[in-house]
Amino acid sequence: MPESYLDKDTSHCSAETRTSPLSQFVQSSLQRKLYMFSGFCTEHNVPACLSHISQEVSCLGLPPVWKESGGGSELNVVATLNCMYDLIQLHHRDMRTLENMEVEQLKSSSTADYLQLTATRLKEQLEISKRENTGLLERERQLQVKVKSLQNCLKNIKEEEQKLQSIIASRARQYNHEMKRKEREYNKLKERLNQLLVDKKERKPAIDVLNTIGRADGKRSLWKTKKTEEKHEGEMYKALLNNYDTRQRELMLENAELKKVLQHMKKDMISILNAGPTQNADKHEEILSEDEEEDVLDSSKESVELHCFHAREKLTNSIRLQWRRLKSHVERLDSQVSLTKTDEGKDTDVSRETHEEERDRLQEEIQHCKDLIQTQQQLFQLSASYDEEAPTVASNCWMLKEKECLQEEWRTLEEQRMIFEKKRKNFTEAAIRLSHERKAFEEDRATWLKYQFLNSNPFADSKNPSESKSAFPITEIETGATLDTEKLEQCRSESTSSTPSSTKPKRKTETMEQSSVSGENHQRIFWKEGSNHDGYSNHILTDERNSPI
């Protein structure tokens, strides 16, 4: 019975709640409960079920269904039916509220959805508008920057314009001033022209000089011919060339000095680098020797160098190279110092690093030196082609020196010979003079003696005195001829051989004149015989005098 009622109820329910899925669920759950309830009450537990149900009903707020008192377990049918009816009403009411709640829930869920959608939409809108805002701010900033720059430009242009205006104003002032001046002069000119036209008597320019004066340089003036014109041109070009010459000389001197300074600098730098790490001493020596070679070559080819652009470039390049080396060396030293200061333990590493660095550097240097050698070779070739004498001169220079020495010696010898010749000439002349004088003197003496002799003829003893006189006059002659005594002494001292011979004087008297000229052999003539023969003595004497030269 309850099943059928319940079925009716459920069908009733289903008719009402066909549309709601929730109610279908309820319905299904009811159906399940239906089967549960069917096993709830049996014949054995009726009172228990009754009491239970009444409890439940009273819990729900409905009047009780069964009263315990009454002696029997008779069911109050009316109450039960009422109870059932109330329960059904309750159920209906619950279902209705359930439906309303479902509807409400649906509504609220849909509004929630809708709100979510609007929220997302608004968020998107917000993002967009934020982006737009930043974009606009950026543009505004850019525009402000532009405005500033334009303002600066404007200021500059205004300043420039003012400057230009002031320039224009000053130029205008200057022009006006000049124009006024020119106008004044023009007016003066007009007046003067008027005056001249009106004035009949015109004073002509004239010069009134007392007398013309000579030219300042004292020369006569020349006609204006083509020759004078050419002379003027020539003088002018001479003046210009002199100027260029002096300037060129000065510049060359300056250049030479500067080159010397550069060479010294280079040497100093090389020496400084040499004084550096000893490991690289060999390399440096090599480089030094090469550079020295270079220097030697440079100095010997100075004139060629001036024409040779490569040589100049080479010098400057080598200076730059040395400077770079020096710089790197100093930097290395600095780094070394700093490293040793900071960390003592990394010595070995540092030194290794420095070794490596140095090795690299040295390799570079080797490369550079090779290049240098190549360029030097090229230059050598160039110089060889330019000046062919250079190598032969270089090889024969020592021979030249000897030659020069020999030449000098020869020259001195020649000079000495000339001197000797001169002296000899002088001596011969003096000897000739002396011989003439002596001749004359002897002749006088002879005449005098003759005279004496003739006068003193009756006195035969007086020979001796004449002899003695002859001896004395000889000494007198000797002393008298003091003009040539020095020479004679000289000659005697220079005598190569003094072989007295009696025969020679005789021979010599004949060839006296000739021998006196050539005279190299001077002999001492001993006065052997007492001379009664004045002529002979004369001869002897003259011979004596004449021989030594």
Partner 1 sequence: MNFSEVFKQTNQLVKISPDGKYMATCVQYRLVVRDVSTLQILHLFTCLDQVSHMEWSSDSLFILCAMYKRGLVQVWSLEQPDWHCKIDEGSIGLVCSQWSADGRHILNTTEFHLRITVWSLSTKAVSYIKYPKDCPKGVDFSKDGRYMALAERRDCKDHVSVFVCNDWHLFRHFETETQDLAGLQWSPNGCVLAVWDSCLEYKVLLYSLDGRFLSTYSAFEWSLGIKSVCWSPSSQFLAIGSYDEKVRILNHITWKKITQFEHPVTIDNTKATVYKEVERRPPVGSDELSIHNSGIGSTLLNTQSKYEICPLPIQIPAVKPDPDRANPKIGVSALAFSSDSRYMATKNDNMASAVWVWNMQKLRLEAVLEQISSVHCFQWDPKRPRLALCTGNSKLYLWSPGGCVSVQVPTEGGFQVQSLFWHCSGESLILLGEEQLCLCYMDTDQQDQ
Taking CB under 8 A as the criterion, the residue among 127, 140, 199, 268 binding partner 1 is: 199
Taking CB under 8 A as the criterion, the residue among 42, 129, 221, 497 binding partner 1 is: 221
Taking CB under 8 A as the criterion, the residue among 33, 139, 171, 423 binding partner 1 is: 171
Distance CA 497, CA 522 (A): 7
> Considering the complex, what minimum distance in angstroms separates the CB of residue 198 from partner 1?
12
Residues in the chain: 549
Q: How far is CA 385 from the centre of its chain?
A: 31
The answer to whether 258 contacts partner 1 (rule: CB under 8 A) is no
The answer to whether 210 contacts partner 1 (rule: CB under 8 A) is yes
Answer whether 531's CB lies under 8 Å from 470's CB. yes
Taking CB under 8 A as the criterion, the residue among 43, 202, 389, 486 binding partner 1 is: 202
Enumerate residues 52-71 that contact partner 1 by CB under 8 A: none
> Considering the complex, what minimum distance in angstroms separates the CB of residue 150 from partner 1?
26
Distance CA 443, CA 449 (A): 9
Nearest of 540, 531, 533 to residue 504 by alpha carbon: 540
Tokens found for residue 258:
């500067």
Answer whether 465's CB lies under 8 Å from 493's CB. no
Distance CA 427, CA 431 (A): 6
Distance CA 333, CA 277 (A): 10
Answer whether 99's CB lies under 8 Å from 17's CB. yes
The answer to whether 176 contacts partner 1 (rule: CB under 8 A) is yes
The answer to whether 357 contacts partner 1 (rule: CB under 8 A) is no
> Considering the complex, what minimum distance in angstroms separates the CB of residue 254 from partner 1?
11
Q: Per-residue DSSP letters for 489-542?
A: HHHHHT-S-----SHHHHHHHHTHHHHHHH-----PPP--S----HHHHHHHHH
> Considering the complex, what minimum distance in angstroms separates the CB of residue 315 from partner 1?
22
> Considering the complex, what minimum distance in angstroms separates the CB of residue 240 from partner 1?
5
Query: Stretches 60-68, 191-199, 428-436, 475-483: which one binds partner 1 (CB under 8 A)?
Result: 191-199
Taking CB under 8 A as the criterion, the residue among 15, 36, 197, 207 binding partner 1 is: 207
- Binding-residue total with partner 1 (CB under 8 A): 46
The answer to whether 429 contacts partner 1 (rule: CB under 8 A) is no
- Other beta carbons within 10 Å of 546: 22
> Considering the complex, what minimum distance in angstroms separates the CB of residue 249 from partner 1?
14
DSSP code of 205? P
The answer to whether 200 contacts partner 1 (rule: CB under 8 A) is no
Nearest of 234, 406, 405, 375 to residue 311 by alpha carbon: 375
Buried b (16+ CB within 10 A) or exposed e, 113-133: eeeeeeeeeeeeeeeeeeeee
Taking CB under 8 A as the criterion, the residue among 39, 214, 345, 458 binding partner 1 is: 214
The answer to whether 208 contacts partner 1 (rule: CB under 8 A) is yes
DSSP code of 220? P
Find the Cα–Cα–Cα–Cα dihedral 8, 10, 14, 15, rounded to 10°: 20
Nearer to partner 1, 208 or 389 (CB): 208
The answer to whether 400 contacts partner 1 (rule: CB under 8 A) is no
Nearer to partner 1, 136 or 167 (CB): 167
The answer to whether 44 contacts partner 1 (rule: CB under 8 A) is no
The answer to whether 249 contacts partner 1 (rule: CB under 8 A) is no
Binding-residue pattern over the window 108 to 147 for partner 1, x denoting contact by CB under 8 A: ----------------------------------------
Taking CB under 8 A as the criterion, the residue among 209, 397, 399, 460 binding partner 1 is: 209
Nearer to partner 1, 261 or 405 (CB): 261
DSSP code of 72? S
Nearer to partner 1, 201 or 341 (CB): 201
Query: Stretches 150-158, 169-177, 302-310, 333-341: which one binds partner 1 (CB under 8 A)?
Result: 169-177
Q: Is 223 helix (H, G, I), strand (E, B) or coil?
A: coil
Taking CB under 8 A as the criterion, the residue among 167, 406, 413, 440 binding partner 1 is: 167
The answer to whether 252 contacts partner 1 (rule: CB under 8 A) is no
Taking CB under 8 A as the criterion, the residue among 42, 129, 211, 475 binding partner 1 is: 211
The answer to whether 169 contacts partner 1 (rule: CB under 8 A) is yes
Query: Stretches 49-57, 81-89, 186-194, 318-326: which one binds partner 1 (CB under 8 A)?
Result: 186-194
- End-to-end CA, the chain: 202
Distance CA 431, CA 549 (A): 8
Give the burial class of 317: count Cβ atoms within 10 A of its Cβ; 0-12 exposed, 13-18 middle, 19 or more buried: middle
> Considering the complex, what minimum distance in angstroms separates the CB of residue 221 from partner 1?
6
Taking CB under 8 A as the criterion, the residue among 228, 377, 381, 468 binding partner 1 is: 228
Interacting residues of 75 by C-beta distance below 8 A, sequence separation 6+ = 50, 65, 66
The answer to whether 486 contacts partner 1 (rule: CB under 8 A) is no
Q: Name the H helices within 277-388.
A: 281-300, 302-307, 309-342, 347-386
Q: Is residue 459 left, alpha or beta, with left meaning phi > 0 and alpha meaning psi from -120 to 50?
A: beta
Nearest of 284, 307, 253, 427 to residue 358 by alpha carbon: 284
Nearer to partner 1, 44 or 203 (CB): 203
The answer to whether 197 contacts partner 1 (rule: CB under 8 A) is no
Residue with tokens 């001896």: 471
Nearer to partner 1, 232 or 433 (CB): 232
Taking CB under 8 A as the criterion, the residue among 156, 174, 407, 412 binding partner 1 is: 174
Answer whether 517's CB lies under 8 Å from 493's CB. no
Distance CA 9, CA 57 (A): 19
Binding-residue pattern over the window 229 to 248 for partner 1, x denoting contact by CB under 8 A: x--x--xxx-xx--x---x-
Contact residues for partner 1, defined by CB under 8 A: 164, 167, 169-171, 173-178, 185, 188-189, 192, 196, 199, 202-217, 221-222, 224, 228-229, 232, 235-237, 239-240, 243, 247
